[in-house]
Structure formats: structure tokens, C-alpha cells
Chains A and B, each alone.
Chain A
């Protein structure tokens, strides 16, 4: 199985503070991490690789030179090779332009290696933009089937089995390959790097793919290729929804609920 995982380097939002005067993010000094949903996608890919002999996991990120740090992180936890897609032409790309660039990069890597990817994984969304659009748009650009919001993927009897959580339970889906699958938080945690894998990743040389390498239509990427215009950003007002009753014993919790409902004259 030849697997690709698309990742994004994002600011660690748990460390982000908001400037109380301008209401904008203070990005200075904020460490960068691999988008957490992408780390789950990589873990799903690495587990598939472990279960199917002769498999390979490639990671790809679009971003500035510094994004190589994120790719090295991926190389230490299951990825076999990495590509950085980088260039001035790509700056300011929205999701449509980004997914277009990535689709060109997929084709360029396939052409270079002479091997096509069987599955392309993405995290369900990046924690900085939270759009959740790049994965599905990438599938559209490539003309591949897509399954979104998967929590696990296994390979049984020559077909992929994709588990997707919904409000009532789980869906089990399958689709022909090649395909694009976006991943939510998995029931398992991503593996730790080992000392050896970390040191090897640190020494790895990561090739950069430029606009020229991708033979890309530069009017379709960067600011020029981005129809999205940001009108304003704001912090959403948090509304209180519901009450959570957390008692150790179910009977105590039930009693508390009945008391509350009767106090509110609902019962």
C-alpha cells in the first residue's frame, strides 16, 4: 500500500494568547506543531503500513522552509519519506488554491517515483483555520472518491474498511482506491518517537517541490488563485448550553437530575 499523508504546520493554539485590545492572535513566540488531526491521520497510515507488508508512508506539507520541522516530526513517528511544497507563488493561498497546489504535488511525486498513491489521508481540519475544506477539495481536484471524518481505517480482504462516527453510532464504509480520507481524533494516541527514529529524522534531507517542479498554473494559487476574502475575524460569543451532571454513581446523578427538573417545575 502506497500511502500519502498531507500535514500542516500550525501554531500551538493551546499556547496562543489573544491581544485584549486588538482582539487578534499574538503569534510571536508561539511554538509550531504538526496539526493534531494530521498526527492522527499519520498514525492511521502508520498502522496500515504495519499491517500490510511492503507498504510505504509519504508525508507532504505546503508551507515555508520552517515547515520542514513538522515533516521531520512526522518522519520520527512512522513516515518513510517527506516532501515540502514551498514557494513565494503559494503564499496567501486559501483552501481552494492550497488543495489545487497539493493535487499538483501529488501528481508530481507520483510521476517522479513512478508509483501512484493508493490512499491519501488528511486531518479533518487544521486547528488554525478550522475550515475542513482542503481534504475534500483535494479529492475533487484529483477526481478521487472521498470519505470524511473517519476515526479508523483497516484493510480486510483486499478492501479498505473505514469507520466513521455519527450521532447514533458508527458507519462502516468502503470505497475503491485511490481515494482521499480525512481523519478525526482516533481511539488510540499517536505513537511516540524513539531515540533512534528521532535522530534519523533529524538527519533526513527533505526535498522541496517548487512551483516550477509542479508545472503549476500560477494564476490558480497564492492570493491570485484564492477567491476567499476574509471580511472580518472575531471571537465567537460562548453561549451556555446545557448542564453536565457528573456524579460517580448513576443513581446519584439521576436523583440530582430529577431534583433539578422538579425545581424548574418541568416535572
Chain B
């Protein structure tokens, strides 16, 4: 990893993950990209190493990492396979809304399940409610000691393989965003899954429909109060904008490494192509973009760690997310360019990196929405 300010402990952790990934995941990347399957055995082995606890506070049996360490771990995941890294880290960080807003009983429950290998997923998006979250139709109707959930969520990362679903639904449609509530719904309560999406990239991460058909959820599974769901998931989205985007910095770094390697080996006109200014300048530009993205996101991670005011964090998270995702798109596209015809071939790794990267401009709020968030925040007087 190209970050020279790691502490010894952070470096040890990143090296541990690097060695593990090179042995256990790297040989499987091509196959997962073809089949679109999430390698569950690699997920389980990471649990044996203790990574399931990476988003869990130490007092609940987890690692209690600071947010910069969380950033670094994710960048390392992105170096090998963005799809696996995204799916894996999300399956653990899905617990963080409960850890922030849940009751003691809920916190113990989710931490225990995650430490034992449960996969958590966030269910927000619906067919007609993407950027406009309040357009969703899923409802939670209170009957006695239960809420009855009805609705269909789509494009849900980890949806088809999850054990616990964090679901946002209307408890009172008339109140708009203040009528949305958050529920923790274990699969065994009767959650069904539907269509499995066939995606352009990030293929080791499974994405699909999640269906709630009269699912009875005990009232004690309401996270936070009724009507606070939207506010609470927004706070979580801000954290995700920083930490999930960390993964694509690793992907961009990987693309840059491949481009540098190729530029050293490939010769034209009697010299390695790295000696041609046209290529050398491209590589320098790529390095600048990767390093700037990394440092923008680490700034965001530091703000999270220090509990900076919400409006400051959300503005930086939005900007860093846009910058890093677009920088990674440019870097991975240019890596394909440096490798020329070979770069376009599936035999070489860089075309996949380009495919994996595109989604980072779309999810966690499209880059248009994030520009809007940042633009509004910085123009306030």
C-alpha cells in the first residue's frame, strides 16, 4: 500500500490481510468474476483470523479499530477484489447502525451474530426509490407487539446471502421522511429473496431483491424510535461514503501497480515504454489521483474518529466519495490505456478493475446527489 504514515500496528494488520488475500483470495478472483459467486469459505476463514470483529467495539468482543485503521483495511481489500471486499466489509459494518442507535440487548445480539459469521445487509433502495429515499413503498404496520412488514427492496448488496436485514420502512407515510423507521430483521422471521442481479462489475458481491411478505417483526427489533429511521441511516450512509469508497482506492492502486509493471516490461522503439514521456506523465497523473483520494478519505476517517460536527463530516464524506470514485475511474481507464490492446483483454487484470470501479460513482448516493450534498453545505452562509 502506498501510504507511508501507518503505525506499526496498522502495518502489521494490513500485511496480515495482504498475505491472507494473496494466498486465499487472489487465485479465486477470476473465477468469482465469471460466476458471480461470493466465496463464502474465504469469508469464514477471515472470521478465524478475527476480521469479523473489525467493526465491533472491543467491549462487545470486537477489534475496536479506529476509523483510519478501518480505512486502511478496506483499501487493502480493494487491492485484491473490490467485489469481495465490498461485500465482506459491508456484511460486518451493517451492524453499525445498531451499535450507534440500538438498545443494549440489540447491540449484544448483533455483535454476537456478526462475530459468529452472520452477514448483515442494509435494505433501503426500492425499484422506484433510489436517490429519492422517501419514495419507498415498504410499510411496517404495528399490530400489538409486532410490526408487520410488507414491500420489496431491490439492488440489495448481500441480499441473497444475508442472515440479518436492516430494513427501512414507513411506519407513518403521512409524515414523509419523519415517518420512516429502522428494523433489525433476522432472516428466520420469513424474509424472502428474489432476483439475483447480473452485474457489470463487483461480481463477487451478490446483489438482489429482498421481499417482505407479511413478515412479523417483534417490536423490540425497532432500532431507535419510530420516525428516526431516516436520520439514523443518513448518519450511517455518511460513514459508508468514506469507508466503502476506501475500497476503490485499493482498486485504483492495483491498476496503477499493473500499469507501472507493464510500462517497465513492454518495449517500443528500443526502450521500455515508461521512458516515453506520454506514458510517464500518465503514470504520474495516476499516482497523484490515487494519493489525493487516499488522503481526502483519511481526512474523512479522522473526522469520524474525532466525532466532528455532523455537517462537517457529511460535506467531506460527500466530496471525498465523489473525488475518489471518479479518480479511480480515470486511473483504471488509463491503466487499460497503458496496457493498450492487452489491457482490453480479459486475460489481463485491468479491464476488470475498470468494470469494478464504475459502481462507486453510483452507489452510496450517486455522485450527483453527493455533489448536491456538498454544494448545499459549502454555500450555506
Mark A residues whose CB is within 8 Å of B: 189, 192-196, 198-199, 202
Name the prevailing secondary structure of the A interface residues.
helix
A195 CA to B53 CA, complexed, in Å: 10
Q: Are B13 and A198 in contact (CB under 8 A)?
A: yes
Residues 26-61 of chain B, each 1 if its beta carbon lies under 8 Å from chain A, else 0: 000000000000000000010011110110000000
Chain A residues with CB under 8 A of B8: 202
Contact of A192 among B9, B12, B20, B53 (CB under 8 A): B20
A202 CA to B13 CA, complexed, in Å: 11
Chain A residues with CB under 8 A of B19: 192
* Closest Cβ–Cβ distance, residue B182 to chain A (whole Å): 29
* Closest Cβ–Cβ distance, residue A82 to chain B (whole Å): 16
Chain A residues with CB under 8 A of B63: 195
A198 CA to B45 CA, complexed, in Å: 16
Contact of A198 among B16, B23, B54 (CB under 8 A): B16
Cβ contacts A to B, 6 pairs, < 8 Å: A192-B16, A192-B20, A195-B13, A195-B63, A198-B16, A199-B9
A194 CA to B9 CA, complexed, in Å: 13
Q: Are B49 and A193 in contact (CB under 8 A)?
A: yes
Q: Which residue of A lies closest to B49 (CB)?
A: A194
A196 CA to B9 CA, complexed, in Å: 11
Q: Are B12 and A202 in contact (CB under 8 A)?
A: yes
Q: Are A194 and B50 in contact (CB under 8 A)?
A: yes
* Closest Cβ–Cβ distance, residue A205 to chain B (whole Å): 15
Chain A residues with CB under 8 A of B23: 189
The interface centre, meaning the residue of A189, A193, A194, A195 with most chain B CB atoms within 10 A of its CB, is A195
Chain B residues with CB under 8 A of A198: 12-13, 16
Chain B residues with CB under 8 A of A195: 13, 16, 49-51, 53-54, 63
A198 CA to B9 CA, complexed, in Å: 9
Q: Which residue of B lies closest to A193 (CB)?
A: B16
Chain A residues with CB under 8 A of B12: 198-199, 202
Chain B residues with CB under 8 A of A194: 48-50
Q: Which A-B residue pairs are the 10 nearest by beta carbons?
A: A195-B50, A194-B50, A194-B49, A198-B12, A198-B16, A192-B49, A196-B50, A193-B16, A202-B12, A195-B63
A3 CA to B28 CA, complexed, in Å: 37
Chain A residues with CB under 8 A of B13: 195, 198
Other A-B pairs beyond A194-B48, A198-B12, A199-B12, 5, CB < 8 Å:
A189-B23, A194-B50, A195-B54, A196-B50, A198-B13
Q: Which residue of A lies closest to B63 (CB)?
A: A195
Chain B residues with CB under 8 A of A189: 23
A82 CA to B12 CA, complexed, in Å: 19
Q: Which residue of B lies closest to A191 (CB)?
A: B48
Chain B 48-99 interface residues, beta-carbon cutoff 8 Å to A = 48-51, 53-54, 63
* Closest Cβ–Cβ distance, residue B42 to chain A (whole Å): 12
* Closest Cβ–Cβ distance, residue A245 to chain B (whole Å): 25
Q: Which residue of A lies closest to B73 (CB)?
A: A195
Q: Which residue of B lies closest to A197 (CB)?
A: B50
Q: Which residue of B lies closest to A199 (CB)?
A: B9
